[in-house]
Structure 1
Amino acid sequence: MSDVYGRTPFKATRRGLIGFSVAATGAMALAACSDDGDAEVDLDAQSKGAMDDFKADTQFKATEPFTLSLLWTEWPDLPVTDTWTFFDEIEKRTNVKFELTTIPFSDAVEKRSLLLSAGDAPSIIPLVYTGEEDSFVSSGAIVPMSDYVEHMPNFQKYVEEWDLGGMIDNLKQADGKYYMLPGLQEVSVPVFTLVIRKDVFESVAGGIPETWDEMREALVKIKAAYPDSYPLADGFEAASMLNYAAHAFGAQAGWGFGDGMMDDGNGGLQYTAVSEGYKQMVEYFRGLVADGLLDTDSLTAANDGSGGGSVAEKFANELVFAASGSSGTAIEFAQALNETVGEGNYEVLQIAPPGGPAGQVVEPRNFWNGFMLNAEAAESEYFLATLQFLDWLYYNPEARELIRWGVLDETYTKDADGKITLKPEFSLDAYNINPGAPTDIQADLGWSNSVFADSTEARSLKESYNTPTFVEYIDSVLSTRTPRDPNPPAPLDEMELEQASLLATPLKDTVDTNTLRFIMGERDIAEWDDYVAELEAQGLQQYVDLVNGARTRFEEENS
């Protein structure tokens, strides 16, 4: 559900997001310090608790105990408790204790902004997606992390091994520095795509569609066989389906709309919502609605899993046969079908996003959530130890496994081939592992928590808690789809950010409203030119010129 740099506006309600030392020359390249010669903090005076021999793939343990303040986002169905083993084990292994400031998920982004703006934020600010740091850069509220990554050997190692250096460069702000560190993904596939009734598509429609045109043909056949159905659905106010579909039309939309600007093919940027590809996408989905192939209720109401109209219930009652979802959604649909069709009488499959006029392409390779540091953290006498601790917590493979599964030989076992098995007395209900076991390692112990677990992942770790069909999904995307190139960076300075915000918000409101109106048939596609004129009257060209000006400047300064 992320955009071209991994941004995401929120965590979806339907389950499924329920996400050595490098040679000196490589370290210098990754540090990406600004060109103005600004001096870094003198870490000799701020190295209390730090390890002298800290390396990648080794256990971090502070040489003396210290406490770090942490901003914790709490989901209503996963309340944090001080009895979680997670906190005790982290402190035992690292000598670092967390002091929590808790904010509710419902307005987490707003609460975080208020805390940072008021200077009251904790030191560590997790669950940050790329782009969310932009508004805090000019005020000096957060630490320029690029100044200090030379002290984070795990981060350096996996950026290099997983070939993410170019993506890291795209995090740079107008001053040439980057201010957040993202979660790294060894392999990147769209989190949300289509989840289908494979058995129905094979028996009724003749196979699994590879393109949106093939999908339409299949939906027509399914509609004929199940006349009461609207075989395709979204369930996320259209934002999910438009996100993963847009790339096949050469556009950006839905969750992936971002700032609205996308590569124009000539090194510059254009506004996606007036592009020919965007129009083709809108016309395609309008056609599905017109022919009764797309469930319009699922485009206008957020799916919270309640009531008789949820997509999962429609899936179970054979009124929907393909819908937006993730690996967790596939599990949810299967559980619902067990109650209606019966276990063994169906097959649910997560498929690679269909291709389209732009080719068999998917979203650019992306990051997942990472963290920022409050600027005051750089003044701490434990600053170097904090960097080492976070490098271990976010990027060390053993730490990542610990956060996901708990304590080896206590909550899970691991065989000689690296296969992880949760012990029978423990469950991970979020992924339907050992359902019915007395202790859920997430809700009861704090492992697989939503603040830290869905961040950096090696492919093997990602596969360890997902179903075999999700592993097939990863293989299918990697072997049959090509990620689009990321958009060229165009970081804005402080004044430009203010201007862009004033222009971009009303533009996007107009885009969102009219995209849905066109698709639902409430506005005739013949009025497309009028829609474009409405955007132009709201300052579209000024906005495009502003961003492209920043793009040109950045390119000249970093060529």
Structure 2
Amino acid sequence: MKRDLTPRAHRRPWQLGTAALAATSMLLLAACGGDGGEEDGAGTENTEGSMSGFAADQQFKATEPVDFSILWTDWPDLPIKDSWRIFDEIAERTNVTLEPTNIPFSDATEKRSLLISAGDAPDIIPLVYTGEDAPFVSSGAVLPMSDYVDLMPNFEKYVQEWDLGGMIDNLRQDDGKYYMVPGLQEVSVPVFSMILRKDVFDEVGAPVPETWDELRDALVKIKEKHPDSYPLADGFEGQSMLNYAAHAFGTVGGWGFGNGTFWDEEAGEFTYAATSDGYKEMVEYFHGLVEDGLLDPESLTATSDGSTDELSEKVANSAVFAASGASGTVVEFQTALQAADPDAEFELVQIAPPGGPAGQVVEPRNFWHGFMISAEAKDDPNFVAMVQFLDWLYYSPDARELLRWGIEGETYTKDADGTITIDPEYSLDAFNINPDGKTDLQKDLGFSTFLAEATESRALKESYNSDQFVEYMDRVLESRTPREPFPPAPLDDAELEQASLLSTPLKDSVDTNTLKFVLGDRPLSEWDAYVTELEGQNLQGYLDLINGAQQRFAEKN
């Protein structure tokens, strides 16, 4: 099966595109590397196996065979296999043998923290999102990666080319260093948004909604046509929908709640998102949907293990016609609909997150997960080779294509114009590519796992996604504005512990009461009482910590 995957013209309206910004990017990188008197990467010893003069877009190959340990997260339906070709191919190209330590997806974050705190973590700690390095700074359990970016020419190149320097600056902790390096995305759109049965929306005369009010109007029409349905569902305990909805209401919520603070530009300080007028307005909106039978309450409470099987079944049975999901969810819904009725005609569309009172706003432009390095690895004689290898693995275009598609000339071919064609013997079931292939690139060979998604050019992202998802990216980039990132407010060691003690019960109260308000288990007339309850949990003391850290960091930098 050949699929036309020719990259479209790169339209990047979120870029400033000025020489000044490019220069700023390089200055930021320079400032972050070797900061604070630490020995920088260029002076690092332990250079056995490393390449002299290693440069961007060059194939890394250790000068002698080396072994590096890596923490590997097993997804429930994708356990690691000894037979996976990915590790053999990496070894052949780089002279590096990866030795995985496996942890389950279900409690990966907790297992990772325990290993790091006990000093038992492998050398390479992947699947780390921005901010997740903070708890390990004070103990010195992980290395300050900003000290070693001069050993990472691919990272430096694509930070500059994709205008990401300003975002790199926001990674720094209180000591001015950053301890993880992120996956880089040339274009950034929300991974999760809303997926519609567009044929059903068309059937009732409802356009693709551009705002949450337009969505409500469409759901009312669908409910009239299908009275036994709940037209809208989340399927991720409400966390997904609140995440992508919150920005349009001028707040943060769900998966994107973070530490719960929201930057008030006019006041020049952080406020608590869950006490704001915007958060209240969002809660009132979703309460209204539940009250009118337009939003499936079960989809807000059913425990999610990352599987969408139950939600897919509801979509297949015409009990739900719009739901939260990502590009892969579209494939899952499509598979379920076809299984229920092979002759069914339908159209699934992932839409740009609807706008709201705050405008057509989506999440800030984002990095993706990256990696940390265990502090003990610095004493490895092959340490420099390790950093060079990770720079190749995470940021080199050749490595990125390998991780996603496998072996050129065997599992895929690439035309002169960049069109990638999977070999007929292979499939990539996760994206419904060549389903008749006998060998799946992901499940059977280990390609297209979490490592593949960390860093992506737009062309690579388009190569495996459907035309519909490419259109989704276009719509978001052309019609939505990313919210400006908040200013950094890194906490020192004592503040981190204090903030954790305060923020955890606050967030628990927010999560519990948000759900109660939405489901109608607590009347909205008690909103002020809810805010008073949060204030009684020393909310102001928590905000004082965050704002003090922000002011201190701003003065230092």
TM-score range, shorter chain: over 0.9
Give the corresponding residue for 2:358: 358
Tell me if 1:301 matches 2:299: no
Give the corresponding residue for 2:452: 453
Query: 2:157 aligns to what SS in structure 1?
Result: helix
Query: 1:176 aligns to what SS in structure 2?
Result: coil
Q: CA deviation at 1:205?
A: 3.5
Give the corresponding residue for 2:13: none
Q: Which 5+ residue runs of structure 1 have no aligned equivalent?
A: 1-21
Distance 1:42 1:55, change over 3 A: closer
On the 8 A contact 1:27/1:156 being kept in 2, the answer is no
What number of residue pairs does the alignment pair up?
A: 535
Instruction: Provide the C-alpha distance between the structure 2 equivalents of 1:53 and 1:442, rounded to a whole number of angstroms.
Output: 34
Could you give the per-residue CA deviations for residues 95-151 of structure 1, whole angstroms, max 9, x where no partner exists? 111122111222111111111111111110001111111100010001000011011
Give the corresponding residue for 1:222: 222
Tell me if 1:519 matches 2:518: yes
What is the identity, as a one-letter code, of the residue corresponding to 2:525?
A
Instruction: Provide the C-alpha distance between the structure 1 equivalents of 2:30 and 2:185, rounded to a whole number of angstroms.
Output: 17
Could you give the per-residue CA deviations for residues 438-464 of structure 1, whole angstroms, max 9, x where no partner exists? 1111111111123x1120000111111
On the 8 A contact 1:304/1:310 being kept in 2, the answer is no
Give the corresponding residue for 1:272: 273
Give the corresponding residue for 2:340: 340
Instruction: Provide the C-alpha distance between the structure 2 equivalents of 1:143 and 1:61, rounded to a whole number of angstroms.
Output: 23
On the 8 A contact 2:25/2:165 being kept in 1, the answer is no
Deviates more, 1:466-475 or 1:313-322: 313-322
Distance 1:473 1:27, change over 3 A: same
On the 8 A contact 2:193/2:241 being kept in 1, the answer is yes
Tell me if 1:434 matches 2:439: no
Instruction: Provide the C-alpha distance between the structure 2 equivalents of 1:284 and 1:221, rounded to a whole number of angstroms.
Output: 17
Instruction: Provide the C-alpha distance between the structure 2 equivalents of 1:547 and 1:346, rounded to a whole number of angstroms.
Output: 49
Deviates more, 1:489-498 or 1:30-39: 30-39
Could you give the per-residue CA deviations for residues 491-549 of structure 1, whole angstroms, max 9, x where no partner exists? 00000000000000000000000000000011111110000000000110000111000
On the 8 A contact 1:33/1:176 being kept in 2, the answer is no
What is the identity, as a one-letter code, of the residue corresponding to 1:269?
F
Give the corresponding residue for 1:538: 537
Give the corresponding residue for 2:331: 331
Deviates more, 1:340-349 or 1:412-421: 340-349
On the 8 A contact 1:184/1:367 being kept in 2, the answer is yes
Tell me if 1:38 matches 2:38: yes
Give the corresponding residue for 2:15: none
Q: CA deviation at 1:433?
A: 1.1
Deviates more, 1:24-33 or 1:475-484: 24-33
Distance 1:317 1:113, change over 3 A: same
Tell me if 1:410 matches 2:410: yes
Query: 1:442 aligns to what SS in structure 2?
Result: coil
Could you give the per-residue CA deviations for residues 173-210 of structure 1, whole angstroms, max 9, x where no partner exists? 00000000000000000000000011111221431110
Give the corresponding residue for 1:551: 550
What is the identity, as a one-letter code, of the residue corresponding to 1:119?
G
1:114-263 matches, cutoff 5 A = 114-263=114-263
Tell me if 1:61 matches 2:61: yes
Could you give the per-residue CA deviations for residues 277-327 of structure 1, whole angstroms, max 9, x where no partner exists? 0000000001111111101010100345989x9221111111111000010
Give the corresponding residue for 1:12: none
What is the identity, as a one-letter code, of the residue corresponding to 1:253?
G
Instruction: Provide the C-alpha distance between the structure 2 equivalents of 1:395 and 1:343, rounded to a whole number of angstroms.
Output: 44
1:64-75 matches, cutoff 5 A = 64-75=64-75
Instruction: Provide the C-alpha distance between the structure 1 equivalents of 2:48 and 2:434, rounded to a whole number of angstroms.
Output: 43
Could you give the per-residue CA deviations for residues 329-363 of structure 1, whole angstroms, max 9, x where no partner exists? 11111111223354561100000000000000100
Instruction: Provide the C-alpha distance between the structure 2 equivalents of 1:550 and 1:406, rounded to a whole number of angstroms.
Output: 45
Query: 1:319 aligns to what SS in structure 2?
Result: coil
1:102-121 matches, cutoff 5 A = 102-121=102-121
Query: 1:68 aligns to what SS in structure 2?
Result: strand
Query: 1:504 aligns to what SS in structure 2?
Result: helix
Instruction: Provide the C-alpha distance between the structure 1 equivalents of 2:255 and 2:474, rounded to a whole number of angstroms.
Output: 24
Q: Which 5+ residue runs of structure 2 have no aligned equivalent?
A: 1-21
Give the corresponding residue for 2:468: 469
Give the corresponding residue for 1:3: none
Distance 1:500 1:101, change over 3 A: same
Query: 1:263 aligns to what SS in structure 2?
Result: strand
Tell me if 1:51 matches 2:51: yes
Q: CA deviation at 1:25?
A: 9.5
On the 8 A contact 1:184/1:455 being kept in 2, the answer is yes
Distance 1:82 1:31, change over 3 A: farther
Distance 1:23 1:58, change over 3 A: farther
On the 8 A contact 2:194/2:323 being kept in 1, the answer is yes
Instruction: Provide the C-alpha distance between the structure 2 equivalents of 1:311 and 1:351, rounded to a whole number of angstroms.
Output: 18
On the 8 A contact 2:404/2:447 being kept in 1, the answer is yes
Q: CA deviation at 1:398?
A: 0.8
Query: 1:36 aligns to what SS in structure 2?
Result: helix
Distance 1:306 1:253, change over 3 A: closer
Q: CA deviation at 1:436?
A: 3.1
On the 8 A contact 1:246/1:281 being kept in 2, the answer is yes
On the 8 A contact 2:73/2:104 being kept in 1, the answer is yes
What is the identity, as a one-letter code, of the residue corresponding to 2:483?
R
Instruction: Provide the C-alpha distance between the structure 2 equivalents of 1:457 and 1:33, rounded to a whole number of angstroms.
Output: 23
Deviates more, 1:34-43 or 1:340-349: 34-43
Distance 1:44 1:540, change over 3 A: closer
Instruction: Provide the C-alpha distance between the structure 2 equivalents of 1:254 and 1:306, rounded to a whole number of angstroms.
Output: 18
Give the corresponding residue for 1:281: 282
What is the identity, as a one-letter code, of the residue corresponding to 2:516?
R
Query: 2:407 aligns to what SS in structure 1?
Result: coil
Query: TM-score scaled by structure 2?
Result: 0.93
Query: 2:453 aligns to what SS in structure 1?
Result: coil
What is the identity, as a one-letter code, of the residue corresponding to 1:396?
S
What is the identity, as a one-letter code, of the residue corresponding to 1:351?
I
